Structure 1
Amino acid sequence: MPTQRDWDAVKDLSRRITDPVQPFLTTETRALVQATAHDVGTSPDETTRALQDDESAAVLVREIASRISTGSRRLSHTLVEVDRRRDAGDLEGARQLLLDVLAVEVVPHYVDILNTYLAAVDDEP
């Protein structure tokens, strides 16, 4: 499971990257990027290629931060709407919403949460 500390650190790193990109890759930032890239569903090969230079690493860091933020917002909105639909008795609508979001979500942690909700759609609130 990803740690909030790592995700916060990579989002902070993303905000600090300048344009044009200044050198920022250190042993620590490489380790952070590798760990969080895996957390958000980026393949090891793609991560290795991106960490070859600061420019491509910056693109990856921004993508990681985007996946975290976008996925988090999508997840929050989805879970609120799923609960609203379940409370209204629209179990099929709640189930379909979860399936629709699962079709686009790439962050494994968020996928796990969505699947947990999907498995519990028919459970009593």
Structure 2
Amino acid sequence: MTEAVDWGPIRALARRVLTEGERLALTRKEKALLKRTAAEVGISDSEAKNALATEEGALGLLQEESRRIREGTRRRMDALHRMYQHKDKGDFVSARQEMQDVLEVEVVPHYRAIAQGQLDNMANEP
């Protein structure tokens, strides 16, 4: 599995900027946070660098990072819930399919690793 991630700071920044309307100040600290988070959510280094060249680009990067985290969290939690329901019924084919469906669309490495780990754990199940 991938190393632990701490998305608290990026979530707080997104809340302040995207929800509360605070201006995105491109300080060295905020740029570093946006760049680090980009890598953690599957955005290339070159794409992140290009986005960070302008305030508008940085805002778009923040929006995309926030979206990937939010949607990936929902997708993962929903799929895990359904997977456990299938497993409880002894339907390991459907349980595995839930994780395979996540892997087909998920771009966030951390969430992909979780889905792959669940698949690996079911490898010896019927």
Fold match (TM-score > 0.5): yes
Contact 1:71 1:107 in 2 (8 A): yes
Match in the other structure for 1:16: 16
- In structure 2, the CA distance between the partners of 1:68 and 1:18, relative to structure 1 (3 Å rule), is closer
Match in the other structure for 2:79: 78
The amino acid that maps onto 1:26 is T
Q: What is the CA deviation profile of residues 50-78 of structure 1, one whole-angstrom value per residue up to 9, with x for unaligned ones?
A: 00011110010111011111111111111
Match in the other structure for 1:117: 118
Aligned to 1:41, what secondary structure does the other structure show?
coil
Match in the other structure for 1:101: 102
Contact 1:50 1:60 in 2 (8 A): yes
Match in the other structure for 2:40: 39
Match in the other structure for 1:60: 61
Long gaps (5+) in structure 2: none
Q: Number of aligned pairs?
A: 122
The amino acid that maps onto 1:76 is M
Match in the other structure for 2:92: 91
- The TM-score, its normalising length taken from structure 1, stands at 0.88
- The TM-score, its normalising length taken from structure 2, stands at 0.88
Shift of 1:3: 2.8
Percent sequence identity over aligned pairs: 37
- In structure 2, the CA distance between the partners of 1:88 and 1:104, relative to structure 1 (3 Å rule), is same
Instruction: Name which of structure 1's ranges 16-25 and 103-112 shifts more when overlaid on structure 2.
Output: 16-25
Instruction: Name which of structure 1's ranges 7-16 and 104-113 shifts more when overlaid on structure 2.
Output: 7-16
Shift of 1:17: 2.1
TM-align CA RMSD: 1.9
Instruction: Name which of structure 1's ranges 106-115 and 70-79 shifts more when overlaid on structure 2.
Output: 70-79
Aligned to 1:103, what secondary structure does the other structure show?
helix
Instruction: Name which of structure 1's ranges 77-86 and 34-43 shifts more when overlaid on structure 2.
Output: 77-86
The amino acid that maps onto 2:80 is L
Q: Aligned partners of 1:18 and 1:120: how far apart in 2?
A: 38
Long gaps (5+) in structure 1: none
